[in-house]
Chains A and B, each alone.
Chain A
Amino acid sequence: MKNLVYKAVAVLALSATFTACSNDDEVIVGTGNLGLEFDNSFSGNDLILDTQANTTASSEVLKISSIKYIVSNIVLTAEDGSIFTYPKSSSYFIVDESDAATHVLNLKDIPAANYTKVTFGIGVDKAQYEAGATGQGDFLATADAAGMMWGWSAGYKFLALEGTFTSAQYTTAVPFKVHTGQTGTDYNYTTVSLDLNSKALVRETITPQVHIKADLSKILNSTNVIKLSDNNPNGTGANIMAGANLSLITANIATMFTVDHVHND
């Protein structure tokens, strides 16, 4: 009887082993889709527009009414090192916190592969801008409608953060606007490269979703520290839209994205 039990246990263990190994020989072919989700937050808290008081590391309290940024030139790197560049003509997006439909970038016709890295730009790259107004395709009108253009000669706004703030110096709420883009001396387009913490398995039947967290607190407080209170000369509003601060803020923006997780559904 003992032998019978041992045999039964052995059979169970073996069958478990075989079941677990059944799909190792998958041949990866075809194309699939992938979603890049941009989830805005402030120091670990999910962003709530208008009402949420967000305290910066500089002890300024921000109420954010609007945050928009341009995501562009998406590149996916597979586990074998091969690189897929999303077609440039389709690779410009605006993420707008107030419009949930813009939070997920739905990328289509991606070669099936196990992707381990995503790279994207914030803003519109210089080469694309230099292609001239006619070279922009539909995106010029889209950006204009979203208020992400200063006008053709001044160019695109790459990121636009707006709201009101208070600080030790300004106890009554003061409006602020942080708009990045090119200045006379700096172009201020930045590239972000993120390793995925689990592989994105693009298949005909699997559409992975890469959940990216954007921590807006880093716009003002990261590699560089920028205080709104220092940019409010008349006391009526802090408007950071030009000058040396933009390249400092651009360097900060490059640090604000992290991959939280990847769904393979």
Chain B
Amino acid sequence: MKNTIIIFLVSFCSIQFSIAAPIKDSISSFTFQKLQFEAALDFDCDACGCSASGGSMGFSSMLNSNFVGVRYFYQSYSSKDGIFNNSPWVDENFNTTQVWAKIPVTDKIQVTALIPYHFHNRELSTGSENINGLGDITVMATYSVFKTQKDSAVFVHDVQLGGGVKLPTGQFKEANNAGTVNQSFQLGTGSWDYLLLTEYVIKRKSLGLNTMLNYTIKTENDKKYQFGNQLNYGSTLFYLLDFNSLQFVPQVGIAGEVYETNKQYGENVLNTAGDILFSKFGFELGKDRFSLGVNAMLPINQHLSNGKIEANYRWSVNLNYSL
């Protein structure tokens, strides 16, 4: 499966390339900054379920224009349905379509909103289970703490800090957590959660490195369930290839997630903590006001739910429009 994805990406990439390359459009509003925005927006949703998915994202300080976009992402997990060695593994498919917008309020402050719609399913021994609906909406603001102003500088730096809130707009159903399988087969955490974020971008000429760190504080929901706090980190190396009317940005990086233990009625829920490290790779393609991004993430190593949950892979495709 992993190989299939790689082949898919590479071939998709080259097809796009060959079709698009000969077109010479003299005017392109597409900028490096937009591409960086793409690079920063990882689909680092909850590995242990998409309950808070789309909630924690990268952000970019480099972007000075308004954006609206839509992104689809898919996550494949296998979860153990039972407590024994011979208990069956259940495939879980998490699909999310997300609308996002990023609006600068001032030179240094930007507001981002994320509105996810989930459609998840899994095949239990008792039959298939589907949930779909609105997920948790996230609103956050970022502030540019430091930014290299001189165009002539060899290295361009940008440091951003921010905070946000994730609203309990996605449904949390207690019944989904009654078994021993993935505790995060949910549309939302059901709780008000808070994000703290930081990002650093350094670039030199066409090469850039985006590093981000964010932390989500999750609170107890009205069913007295509390998802564990979550740390996301990641680093992406990207390179801009400019073909006049068309920009192509290959990117490669790593992304990690660390989950604390979930609680129910204040008691730890066993086997809910974990961590995972992904490799990620993809590309962005920009033309005029549009940009297309394709990304894939493959686990390098993982310890989710004491080995009872395995992340297989994730991929995403997004289309953005510069307003």
Contact = CB atoms under 8 A, between A and B. Distances in A.
Given A8-B141, A39-B83, A23 B196 contact: no
Interface in A153-195: none
B219 interface: yes
Contacts of B265: 201, 206, 264
Interface SS of chain B: helix, strand, loop or mixed?
loop
Contacts of B220: 19-20, 22-23
Interface in B160-179: 161-163, 165, 174, 177-178
Contacts of A198: 267-270
A213 B141 contact: no
Given A15-B194, A197-B270, A198-B267, A45 B219 contact: no
Given A5-B141, A46-B84, A46-B86, A16 B219 contact: yes
14 contacts: A5-B161, A12-B163, A16-B194, A19-B191, A19-B219, A44-B84, A46-B84, A198-B268, A199-B267, A201-B267, A261-B83, A261-B180, A261-B270, A265-B174
Interface string A11-41: 0110110011011000000000000000101
A263 B84 contact: no
B269 to A, nearest CB: 8
Contacts of A39: 83
A41 B83 CA distance: 10
B146 to A, nearest CB: 12
B108 interface: yes
B83 A211 contact: yes
B267 A45 contact: no
A22 B224 CA distance: 11
A109 interface: no
B307 interface: no
Interface string B191-211: 110101000000000000000
A261 B179 CA distance: 11
A144 interface: no
Residue of B180, B191, B194, B196 most packed against chain A (CB within 10 A): B194
Contacts of B270: 197-198, 261
Given A1-B106, A39-B83, A198-B268, A9 B163 contact: yes
Nearest to A41: B84
A15 B192 CA distance: 10
B87 interface: yes
A8 B194 CA distance: 11
Contact of A44 (B85, B161, B165): B85
A263 B194 CA distance: 27
Task: Bin chain B's interface residue count.
Answer: 35 or more
B109 interface: yes
B143 interface: yes
Contacts of A45: 84-86
A110 B314 CA distance: 47
A265 B176 CA distance: 11
Contacts of B141: 5, 8
A138 interface: no
B264 interface: yes
Contacts of B217: 13, 16
Contact of A46 (B82, B194, B219, B264): B82
Contact of B267 (A19, A23, A260, A264): A264
A260 B192 contact: no
B179 to A, nearest CB: 9
B109 A19 contact: no
Contacts of A197: 270
A2 B264 contact: no
A2 B106 CA distance: 12
Contacts of A12: 163, 165, 194, 196
Contacts of B196: 9, 12
Contact of A5 (B86, B143, B264): B143
